[in-house]
Amino acid sequence: MLLEIKNIGKSYFKKDGQIARKVLDGLDLSMEAGECISIVGPSGSGKTTLLNLIAALDKPDTGDISIDGKDLTKLDRIALDLYRKSSIGIVFQLHHLMPQLNLFENVMLPTMGNKDGMEESIVRAEKLLKDLGIWEQRLQKPGELSGGECQRAAVARALINQPKLIIADEPTGALDEDNAKTMADLLMDIHKESGTALIIVTHSMELAARANKQYLLKKGNLHLG
């Protein structure tokens, strides 16, 4: 089992310590290596909160989250940083590229600090940018490119360290119809060709239906569609 979530609870609190809103309530989820799942749900239902917990960007109030048998809730800061760097690739709705860096530098950013394998990372970055159709734009900065081109660079950045799991949070939400379809096709092709597990949070029912399993997040829990 690649990902196992057991009885996760997450609430947001007022300044006086009282619960303002319970977002996740006893949520369970299991995911095999190489699987693709989609999660839909109303705005504010906790989809991004769940992804943040899986990516170890936040901690649950209760419950356990395990990747390859490692309980994320019990790892220290250094181990969590290594986990995020080596095991997870994240694609956000907005690309979050560094505006002062060109595309190639942005893609290579997660490899900074790697003690070994830098030459292999450079070769992999070149291949990713060519496969994604943005090699010619590699020396340009995000402000000089279209939203679709920047989002493709964000996908390359998420893949550069060969993660076991890609998390895509509304990856097509900020794109026009044509670029949204291109991005959806791209993510599914990468998942199928590389065997990387993929979690997609989306409002697009068309994109959600392309996953192996579809879940609805509602009232703090996941329901299999």
Averaged over 175-191, what is the pLDDT?
Answer: 85
H/E segment holding residue 91: strand 88-91
Over residues 42-58, the pLDDT tens digits come to 988 999 999 999 999 89
pLDDT at 20 over 80: no
In angstroms, how far apart are the furthest CA atoms of the chain?
Answer: 54
- The pLDDT mean for the chain works out to 90
Q: What does the pLDDT read at residue 225?
A: 78
- Of residues 130 and 178, more confidently modeled: 130
Q: What φ, ψ does residue 57 adopt, rounded to 5°?
A: -85, -10
Q: What does the pLDDT read at residue 92?
A: 84
Q: What does the pLDDT read at residue 77?
A: 87
Separation CA 9–CA 60 (nearest Å): 6
pLDDT at 205 over 80: yes
Q: Provide the token pair at 43.
A: 């705005």
Residue spans per domain, the chain: 35-60+74-224
Q: How confident is the model at residue 69 (pLDDT cuts 50, 70, 90)?
A: confident
Over residues 21-36, the pLDDT tens digits come to 889 999 999 999 999 9
H/E segment holding residue 106: helix 103-108
The runs of H, that is alpha helices, within 60-204 are 77-87, 103-108, 118-131, 147-159, 177-194
Q: What does the pLDDT read at residue 81?
A: 86
pLDDT at 8 over 80: yes
Q: Provide the token pair at 134.
A: 């943005």
Place of tokens 């943040």: 52
Q: What does the pLDDT read at residue 36?
A: 96
The CATH superfamily assigned to 35-60+74-224 is: P-loop containing nucleotide triphosphate hydrolases (3.40.50.300)
Over residues 113-149, the pLDDT tens digits come to 676 678 899 999 999 999 888 999 999 999 999 988 9
The 10 Å Cβ neighbour count of residue 204 is: 18
Question: Percentage of the chain surpassing pLDDT 90?
Answer: 56
Separation CA 220–CA 9 (nearest Å): 8
pLDDT at 89 over 80: yes
Question: Percentage of the chain surpassing pLDDT 70?
Answer: 97
Q: What does the pLDDT read at residue 26?
A: 94
Dihedral sign, Cα of residue 44, residue 48, residue 49, residue 50: positive
